[in-house]
């Protein structure tokens, strides 16, 4: 099941230890859907405890520093995440790009550091509403991919791309299934140009207001290999409905 649909929850800055019971419910529920790959990226503070308890889900970070160690107060490196039990890390989320000024080059450095540490990496890209309205969405995303994706012979094996239109994150608005399919085909072409044949194996997730009601439709769009889910990943009830919606795609 190399190409199982991949459903990843991004808990953002939410989750005290009391939320570990929700993670456990997600983990036990995910075990009933072996055709789907399920993961959660909790805040750094929960990575270790969640990873220790997980039996069916992967646990990852939401960001990492590009250096393995050093005088970077408040930052967390990829080797530290790995040591805490993480299996992957998200880099280049639009909130980090917008609120922390992360450039494509910075995102690529983080992605390469993650692979170097033995983590898989989810690289996020996506256009703003103004860029889509100006007809620049595919060009903007292609440029982000060019600048942000890690390079190297084996890089494609550790990379997942998440297409997250900025205007769809946390807004309840989603692109049409046709627009999602068109963007994912465009991303697939860029992956081929960067990684050659290996680009065909890179999973491309859709993210942005995915919920229990719209997941089935969005997951059926062209070249969609799964979903990166924010708000709807915070409860087992809604997240497992999305996982179940991905089930038939993995059979
Ligand atoms: C996200 O932040 O990655 C995300 C997709 O959020 P939401 O599902 O809440 O739109």
Residues 142-162 pLDDT 10s: 999 999 999 988 999 999 999
pLDDT at position 10 is 98
Cα–Cα nearest to 145, from 116, 123, 122, 169: 123
- Pick from 230, 238, 241 the residue to mutate for probing ligand 1's pocket: most ligand atoms within 8 Å of its CB: 230
pLDDT at position 37 is 98
Q: How far is Cα 116 from Cα 177, in angstroms, rounded to an integer?
A: 36
Residue 81 CB contacts under 8 Å (≥ 6 apart), including other chains = 44, 47, 60, 61, 64, 89, 117, 119
Q: Judge whether 93 counts as a catalytic residue.
A: yes
**CA dist 209 → 113, 117, 158, 170, 231 (Å):** 29, 31, 25, 6, 8
- Indicate which residue of 95, 127, 138, 164 is catalytic: 164
Question: Is the pTM for the entire model greater than 0.85?
Answer: yes
pLDDT at position 248 is 86
131-145, pLDDT tens digit by residue? Answer: 999 999 999 999 999
The mean pLDDT value for 179-204 works out to 97
Q: Judge whether 33 counts as a catalytic residue.
A: no
Cα–Cα nearest to 97, from 166, 14, 162: 166
Using CA positions, which residue lies closest to atom 6 of ligand 1?
230
Question: What structural domains and CATH numbers belong to the chain?
Answer: 6-249 (3.20.20.70)
Task: Find the 127 Cα to ligand 1 centroid distance in Å.
Answer: 14
Mean pLDDT of the chain: 97
């Amino acid at each position: 099941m190399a190409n199982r649909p991949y459903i990843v929850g991004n808990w953002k800055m939410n989750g005290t230890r009391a939320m570990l019971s929700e993670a456990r419910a997600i983990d036990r529920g995910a075990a009933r859907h072996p055709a789907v790959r399920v993961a959660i990226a909790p805040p750094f503070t929960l990575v270790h405890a969640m990873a220790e308890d997980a039996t069916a889900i992967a646990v990852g970070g939401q960001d990492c520093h590009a250096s393995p160690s050093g005088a970077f107060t408040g930052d967390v490196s990829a080797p530290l995440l790995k040591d805490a039990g993480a299996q992957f890390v998200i880099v280049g989320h639009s909130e980090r790009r917008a609120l922390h000024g992360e450039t494509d080059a910075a995102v690529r450095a983080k992605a390469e550091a993650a692979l170097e540490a033995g983590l898989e990496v989810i690289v996020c890209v996506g256009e703003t509403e103004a860029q889509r309205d100006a007809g620049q969405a595919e060009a903007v995303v292609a440029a982000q991919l060019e600048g942000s994706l890690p390079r190297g012979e084996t890089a494609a094996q550790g990379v997942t791309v998440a297409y997250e239109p900025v205007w769809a994150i946390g807004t309840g608005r989603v692109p049409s299934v046709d627009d999602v399919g068109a963007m994912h085909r465009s991303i697939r072409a860029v992956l081929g140009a960067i990684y050659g044949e290996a680009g065909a194996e890179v999973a491309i997730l859709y993210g942005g207001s995915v919920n229990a009601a719209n997941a089935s439709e969005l997951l059926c769009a062209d070249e969609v290999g799964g979903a990166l889910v924010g708000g709807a990943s915070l409860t087992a009830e809604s997240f497992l409905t999305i996982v179940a919606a991905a089930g038939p795609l993995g059979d």
